[in-house]
Structure 1
Amino acid sequence: MKSPKWLDRILYPFAHHTLELQAGQMHYVDEGQGEPIVFVHGTPTWSFVWRQQIKALSRTHRCIAPDHLGFGLSDKPDDFAYTPEAHAHNLEQLIDHLQLRDITLVVHDFGGPIGLSYALKHPENVKRLVILNTWMWSLEDEAQIMKISGFLNSGIGRFLYLNLGFSPRLLLPRGYHQKRHLSKDVHQHYLKPLSNSRSRMGTWHFAISLKESGPWFASLWEQHEKLRAIPKLILWGEKDKLLPLSLLEQWQNTFPEAKVKRLEAGHFVQEEKGGEIADAIKDFI
């Protein structure tokens, strides 16, 4: 595929790869050689969010980073479910297609339940887990999140997301602790793939799924013991304004054996602490 004109090839110098799925074409990055590291993004981001880590780690490892359908350079079909479960199925297809073995799985935001769903189904194929500001359980006890997700499922919420680009325009900047890391150029790389109402369907479905997909999230958490034997590194931006710090506490309480590194950063910790995150993953591996 061709690079869109707005894509800065210095910021994002990676070759384009695509996989034809039943619902549309999935774009992904596949850089370097060696043991595979799979990076799974959330909303409203795409593989671009992992660019600093891919540049550093692809010198010694094979780095794979897909764009979920509805995000980044992947297709944005009208007839796709856009649930976390559907994205998890697509990720599994990509991993199977590439025949990846002994994966280090790096997950963030909605990439948590999406990627960890794979780890629960195939724990024998996941060598390590790296967890950044995410969850893998129902958020029904988080009253504020439930209230917001319910509101976004209203006509007004849908309008905010689809017509006004609420997620990349307003929520994304709120996810940074130090706004200087979100330069105008970087911000454009999150706005351009979501430039019209049709292209924003994926972001809206993620917003409402915080509540709607609660049973699926709960079903994942019921299986969390399957992850016990997999070494874990938790990298957490403790200035996160989008997800509460209580999520980190649940990870720590459930998996006290996990290595934990807290950073003075917001939700998009891999953007604000790019080099530190890359170094921490490299040391962990």
Structure 2
Amino acid sequence: MESPKWLDRILYPFRHHTLALQAGQMHYIDEGSGAPIVFVHGTPTWSFVWRQQLKSLSRGYRCIAPDHLGFGLSDKPADFAYTPEAHAENLEALINHLQLKDITLVVHDFGGPVGLRYALRHPENVRKLIILNTWMWSLQDEKQLMKISRFMSGGIGRFLYMNGNFSARVLLPKGYNERKHLTKDIHRHYLKPLSTSPDRQGTWRFAVALQEANPYFAQLWEQREKLKPIPKLIIWGEKDSLLPLHWLAKWQIAYPEARVVTLKAGHFLQEEKGGEVADAIRAFLN
């Protein structure tokens, strides 16, 4: 595929790859050689959010970073389900297509309930897990979050997402502890893939999923013991204003053996602390 004109090839110098799925073309990055690392993004981001880690780690590892359907450079089909479970199916299809073995799985935001389903289904093929500001449990008890999700599921919320690009214009900046890291040029790379209302279906469906997908999230959490034997690193932006800090404690209670690195960063710590995130991953893998 050709690069869109708005894509800065200095910021994002990676070769384009696509996988034909039943619902559309999934774009992904496949850089470097060695033990495979699979990076799974959330919303409203895409593989661009991992660019600093991809540049650094692809010198010694094979780094794969897909764009979910509805995000980044992937197709944005009107008739795709856009549920976390549907995205998880696509991720598994990509891993199978590339015949990846003994992977390190790196997940962030909605990439957690998307990517960790693969780990639960195929723990024998996951060598290590790296968890950044995400979850894998029902959010039903998070009253404020449920209230917001119910509002966003309604007519006004849908209008804000579909017509106002609410996720990329409003929520993304709120996810930064230091707004200076979100330059106009970087912000443009999150706005451009969501230029038209039909392009924003994926971001709105994730907002709805915070409430509707709770049975799926709960099902994942019930299986958490399957991940016990897998070495884990948790890298947490402790200044996250989108996800509560007590979620980090929940991970630590479930997996007290996990190595934990906290950074003075917001939700999008890959952006604010790009080098430190890459260094923490490399140290863990070594």
User: Which residue is equivalent to 2:260?
Assistant: 260
Question: In the TM superposition, what whole-angstrom CA distance separates every residue of 1:22-61 from its partner, at most 9, and x where no partner exists?
Answer: 0000000000000000000000000000000000000000
Distance 1:206 1:38 in 2: 21
Q: Write the mapping of 1:1-285 to structure 2, written as runs, cut at 5 A.
A: 1-285=1-285
Q: CA deviation at 1:273?
A: 0.4
Q: Which amino acid aligns with 2:70?
A: G
TM-score using structure 1 length: 1.00
Distance 1:153 1:59 in 2: 43
Distance 1:281 1:249 in 2: 20
Distance 2:147 2:230 in 1: 34
Distance 1:220 1:16 in 2: 32
Q: CA deviation at 1:183?
A: 0.5
CA RMSD of aligned residues (A): 0.3
The alignment-based identity, stated in percent, is 74
SS in structure 2 of the partner of residue 87 of structure 1: helix
Q: CA deviation at 1:246?
A: 1.2
Q: Which runs of 5+ in 2 are unaligned?
A: none
Greater than 3 Å deviation, 4+ residue runs = none
Distance 2:210 2:155 in 1: 17
Question: In the TM superposition, what whole-angstrom CA distance separates every residue of 1:129-169 from its partner, at most 9, and x where no partner exists?
Answer: 00000000001111111000010010000000000000000
Q: Which runs of 5+ in 1 are unaligned?
A: none
TM-score using structure 2 length: 0.99
Q: Which amino acid aligns with 2:259?
A: K
Distance 2:39 2:181 in 1: 20
Distance 1:142 1:256 in 2: 23
SS in structure 1 of the partner of residue 256 of structure 2: coil
SS in structure 2 of the partner of residue 163 of structure 1: helix
Distance 1:225 1:82 in 2: 27
Q: Which amino acid aligns with 1:76?
A: K
